[in-house]
A and B are shown apart, each in its own frame.
Chain A
Amino acid sequence: MSPSAKVLRGIQRLNRTRPPRPRPDAGEQARVRARVWPALSREQAQEQWNDWFSRQGWTPFPFQTDAWQAFEAGRSGLVAVPTGSGKTYAAVGGPLLNLISRSMRGLDPGLTLLYITPLKALARDIAQAIQRPLDDLGWPIAVDLRTGDTSPAARRKFKEQLPHVLVTTPESLAILLTDQGWEARMQGVQAVVLDEWHELMGTKRGSLLELTLARLRSIAKEVRVWALSATIANLEEAASVAVGSGHHAEIICADLPRQIRLHCLLPESVQRCPWFGYSGLHLLPEVLTQIDVTRSTLLFTNTRSHAERWFQAILEAKPEWSYLMALHHGSLDQDERQRVEAGIKSGSLRLVVATSSLDLGVDFPPVENVIQIGSAKSITRAIQRAGRAFHRPGEATLVQLCPTNVMEILEASALREGMQDGVMEERIAPAKPLDVLVQCLLNASFNEGFDPADLFRQIRSARSFRTVTNEEFSWALEFIRSGGALASYPEFRKVEVVGGRYRFVSAEASRRHKMNIGTILSDSGVTVQVRGGARLGLIDEMFIAKLRPGDVIQFGGRTVEFLQMRDMTAYVKPARRRRPVAAVWSGTILPLSVQLSAYLRREVDRLRQAVEGAAPPSPEIHALLPIARVQSSRSRIPSAAQQLIERCRTAEGHHLFVYTWEGWSVNEGLGHLAAYRLSQLRPNTIAVSATNYGFELLSTEPLGSELEIRRALTLLEGLEEDIHASQNFPELAKRAFREIARVAGLVYQGTPSARKTARHLQMSASLLFDVFRQYEPSHPLLAQAFREVSEQQLQIDRLRGLMRRMDEQELLIVPIARLTPFAFPLYVERIKSRLSTEQLEQRVARLQREVFR
């Protein structure tokens, strides 16, 4: 037996016993211990703390000592530092030192530090990380956690007393602020830490957290807020959103420059790379050569479904790795995810296939090898994933990218350019979403309720809500009290006004709202459970609806046979059959970021130059030359000053392919806009399909003259009216309204068991959308749905920019006789909804052979 095989066997034997589960409730021990507070001055505490650092073999980084000092000086702010660089201790050091030296008087200081993490899975790790120095130093500070998974008994306990340090999620914090007497228990809070702030800020979860913190600030007068963020382009804005308007925010940047080397895995022959597709499995052999199980590897995919497929494919190719590899994605059961995270930490797992569920936090040591399947579609995201990779001082961090199709090879080249230029994306906080405002009002209506003047002041102290007007606030007040003024709600009962304070009409009403707190759209997920065995996780309702008993699916890295659906649970049993169908979750394709789009267009231009004889500036462009030549012989490759449009006629109708490289949501918007405008000129039926790179119009009648097409694509006049009139706008608004209805408490969600007893209160958001449109068309929440679609989904500003750019460009409308490499993905995108994944891959391969001939 070879030495490496011996090692492998040994590891396999070790792993037959599962790694131990993390110790539960670490804070409990500290709490029961008699509280003897040491008499420490701030200096003495700092000395002990520094000693503890040296005993770990660490020297505090400058950004850590800066953060401790800034906290001591009473300031709030933001620490920008890559994941896994010691940011937790940077944030909690100041508050802990302050707490231990301030409590000499012998009084229990109560809750002092709130640590807020976006992922409940991270809470336990963070609590343990905070606990470690406290145990070693014998500081009697109690640490505990409160998340959606906390037991009812522990929740009751928190209504009496809170620990000194509480690790929690934004939603659990909002729930803590509904408990009777929370004000008294939280008035001593000195510090709030917002972990992974860049993840929260651009979302409604972040908006709600801003409002919750605004309410907390009105009670805890001395609180200092510190956000921890990955490096993003608009750090100043991120900091000021975190600390609230009217507060100064200090920014501390970790000076840990990291060079990232991006290596794109290229197939021997570019013809083996599909022109369309997302899975990347054709590169399995190349990827396998990059994995060495004596070292640790993380393989990131962009979707849960691809994680499943890659896991299965690797397992089939390398069955001997089965004990060393695991799968990690957001739909897996929590126990399984924790087991995997523990396995990564202990080193017993050597290969983990993961989605963005592993992007964040988890305080595990960096892995030696990071492979990204598919382009990350954003420069910031690519850098973040690279942050998972181990790096030796003075050496660049290596990330391997496995392109899933031809265009992603070019994207790899663009990503590298963007990284080298130090470009990063922004995170924009939503501006005063009304649904979140309504929820904040309801969240404040528990117990004695709220005084409207006070709450208005607090709300306006949150930066994203600083422009809320009197009218908007009055509307929201009236909305929760009477249902609204416009339509008739004669029986409406939710919140009442007693002695000038707004509060719930009944315990039942408040209990029902409590279950609705938060802004996360709960997946319409169905639990997957092995018959008489473990829960595996959640699966999409739409996917399971298409299954018949006996079908074999792949879920959580296992192959199981679907037995039956009962009470929102899909029962399965282990299956042996090969060729299972990988579970699919509905979700959207990641759109290209604005910044990456710009780089990608530049790469297209450089590809053109290479075809014309310039030296290929990157290995990717070199590899793409054969395909680029096909493109330029059948059509053109545009320069930066040109806009390429291809047109052709087939038995299906008239095709128009427009290439913008601007991200699919903008492409979809422009496609529908152009379709609407062209069909206004003469009656026509036009189908639109879009990808990240462009869009296709397919029509029964000719689409129009060159001038008409140009005007349809570039005319800014009447843009918003035409978008609103275009075919898919109401559909998109309906989808946006689903989230709004949920956040504002318009629909009843409840728990699965409560849902059964309250069936007569079920109302689908899409039906509600139709009802509101008919009877209360000017409803502010409807208006918000329309606004969200134009601003966030269609990104109307970005669309305007694109149209202006096209207006300045030379329009190349090229008739094509055969499908070009650029047109191919658009063509397949349209037909793919009719085919299953497996059928699609075969069809793509065949089409591609035909096209390449």
Chain B
Amino acid sequence: MRLTVCGEQFELLPERALFWPSRRLLVVADCHLGKAETFQQQGFWLPSQSRQQDLSRLSALATRVGAEEVLFLGDLVHALSGVTEAVVAEFAQWLREFDGSVRIVLGNHDAGLAKRWPEEWRRAALCERVDIERFRFQHHLGGGQGEAGLFYWVGHVHPMIRLERGPDRLRLPAFVIGSFRGLLPAFSSMSGGYDVSPPAEERVFVIGEGQVYEV
């Protein structure tokens, strides 16, 4: 789904990611790597396979759209304790295989990890936020309006939309685009989400069965 925001073209991708074609920039929010391991350590059942699947999904997506840069929009990992050797190794492998630049915006879940950033992940540049032209990419934009004149692309919320049509009840991940900020769905295939009910003036795009629909 193509969309013009502040005069720039963006693509909302059904893989739960954002693409900026003129910059060949792929943006993914809330990957929550190591979530399964965090749960397992505390005695909860969550299988590890989905991480490999998320990373290979990301590689395939970067290839498909021809991305030259990948920007992680915060919450790359779920918790410090879940960043096990296997998690470090697998993401390091992904970094080696992707031949473009990588920037990682830190999110609230990354706080513990930022101080002990794995050596193998040094190739990626860490930042609080990224400003490109009048667009600011950061993990979270509290309740405020942000700085005037800027458009914010943010994650953090994992927005979900409930749709009810007759007997059909659906709950789908969504992009929510307002006048000064756009909310991205979580990229992780194992993240739940929070139901949002955006005001009428915001545009909502849901992802269902490999397609993006405006509702």
Partner-B contacts on A (CB < 8 A): 483-484, 487-495, 505, 509, 512-513, 545, 687-689, 746-748, 760-764, 767-768, 771-772, 774-776, 833-834
Q: Write out the residue numbers on chain A whose beta carbons fall within 8 Å of the beta carbon of B31.
A: none
Assuming the contacts A687-B167, A763-B192, A767-B190, asked whether A490 and B84 have C-beta atoms less than 8 A apart, the reply is: yes
Nearest-CB residue, chain A, relative to B78: A760
A493 to chain B: which residues have CB within 8 Å?
40-43
Q: Does B98 contact A (CB under 8 A)?
A: no
Given contacts A484-B45, A760-B109, contact A490 B40 (CB under 8 A): yes
Most buried by B among A489, A491, A505, A760: A491
> Which residues of B lie under 8 Å from residue A487 when comparing CB positions?
47-49
A688 contacts across to B, CB distance below 8 A: 167
Contact (Cβ within 8 A) A771 B50: yes
Q: Does B1 contact A (CB under 8 A)?
A: no
Question: A763 to chain B: which residues have CB within 8 Å?
Answer: 39, 44, 46, 192
A residues near B37, Cβ cutoff 8 Å? 490-491
Is the Cβ of B41 less than 8 Å from the Cβ of A491?
yes
Q: Tell me which residues from 163 to 212 in chain B have a Cβ below 8 Å from any Cβ of chain A.
A: 164, 166-167, 190, 192, 195
> A546's closest neighbor in chain B, by CB?
B197
**Contact with A512, one of B42, B46, B195 (Cβ below 8 angstroms):** B42
Q: CB-CB < 8 A to A513: which residues of B?
A: 43
Given contacts A487-B48, A687-B167, contact A505 B43 (CB under 8 A): yes
Answer whether A512 and B43 are a contact pair too, CB < 8 Å, given A687-B166, A764-B192, A833-B167.
Answer: yes
Kindly state whether residue B79 has any CB partner on chain A within 8 Å.
Answer: yes
Q: List 13 other contacts, CB 8 Å, given A493-B43, A545-B195, A771-B47.
A: A489-B36, A489-B47, A490-B37, A490-B40, A494-B43, A509-B42, A688-B167, A748-B44, A771-B46, A771-B50, A771-B190, A774-B50, A775-B49
Contact mask B43-64 → A, CB, 8 Å, 1/0?
Answer: 1111111100000000000000
Bound complex: CA A639 to CA B43 (Å): 59
> In the complex, how many angstroms separate the beta carbon of B173 from the nearest chain A beta carbon?
12
Q: Which one, A488, A494, A747, A760, contacts B49 given CB within 8 A? A: A488
In order of increasing CB-CB distance, the 3 nearest A-B pairs are A494-B43, A487-B47, A491-B40
Bound state CA distance, A771 and B54, in angstroms? 13
- Taking CB as reference atom, which chain A residue is nearest B169? A731
Q: In the bound complex, what is the Cα–Cα distance between A494 and B47 (angstroms)?
A: 15
Binding site for A on B (CB under 8 A): 36-50, 78-79, 82, 84, 86, 109, 164, 166-167, 190, 192, 195
**Nearest chain-A residue to B47 (Cβ)?**
A487
Q: List the B side residues contacting A512 at CB < 8 Å.
A: 42-43
Q: Which of chain A's residues have a CB closer than 8 A to the CB of B38?
A: 760-761
Tell whether, in the assembled complex, residue B43 and residue A775 are in contact, meaning their CB atoms are under 8 Å apart: no
Whether the pair B50, A491 counts as a contact (CB closer than 8 A) is no
Q: Could you say which of B40, B49, B78 has the most chain A C-beta atoms within 10 Å of its C-beta?
A: B40
Please report the C-alpha to C-alpha distance between residue A772 and residue B49 in the assembled complex, in whole angstroms: 11
A776, B47: Cβ atoms under 8 Å? yes
Q: How far is the CA of A484 from the CA of B39 in the complex (A)?
A: 14
A776 to B49, CA, bound (A): 10
Give the nearest-CB partner of B38 in chain A.
A760
Whether the pair A483, B84 counts as a contact (CB closer than 8 A) is no
Complex-state Cα separation, A754 to B141, whole angstroms: 26
Cβ contact within 8 Å between A488 and B46: no
B49 to chain A, nearest CB (A): 5
**Beta-carbon contact of A483 and B45 below 8 Å:** yes
The verdict on A775 contacting B45 (CB below 8 Å), with A490-B40, A767-B192 known, is no
Residue of A nearest to B41 (CB): A491
Residues of chain A within 8 A of B164, CB atoms compared: 833
Partner of B45, one of A489, A774, A833, A834: A489
Contact (Cβ within 8 A) B41 A747: no
Taking CB atoms, residues of chain A closer than 8 Å to B167 are 687-689, 833
CA of A771 to CA of B192 in the docked complex: distance in angstroms?
A: 11
Chain A residues whose C-beta falls within 8 Å of the C-beta of B79 in the assembled complex: 760
Least Cβ distance of A519 to chain B in Å?
Answer: 18
Q: How far does the Cβ of A687 sit from chain B's closest Cβ, in whole Å?
A: 6
Are B44 and A834 interface neighbours, CB within 8 A?
A: no
CA distance A490 to B52 in the complex (A): 14
Q: Which of B44, B47, B49, B109 contacts A761 (CB 8 A)?
A: B44
Residues of B within 8 A of A774 (CB): 50
Bound Cα distance from A775 to B52, whole angstroms: 12
Q: 16 A-B pairs, CB-CB below 8 angstroms? A: A483-B40, A487-B48, A489-B45, A490-B86, A491-B36, A491-B40, A491-B84, A493-B40, A687-B167, A748-B44, A760-B78, A761-B39, A761-B42, A763-B44, A775-B47, A833-B167
Shortest CB distance B203–A (Å): 22
Task: State the Cβ distance, B34 to closest chain A Cβ, in Å.
Answer: 9
Taking a contact as CB atoms under 8 Å apart, the answer to whether A492 and B192 are in contact is no
| Complex Cα gap A688–B78 (Å) | 42
Asked if B192 contacts A762 (CB within 8 A), the reply is: yes
Minimum CB–CB distance from B146 to chain A (whole Å) comes to 25
B164 nearest CB neighbor, chain A only: A833
Q: Smallest CB–CB gap between A36 and chain B, Å?
A: 50
A492 to B84, CA, bound (A): 12
* Bound-state Cα–Cα, A512 to B42, Å: 9
With A689-B167, A748-B44 as known contacts, state yes or no: A775 contacts B50, CB within 8 Å.
yes
CA distance A446 to B68 in the complex (A): 54
Cα separation A774 to B164 with both chains bound (whole Å): 26
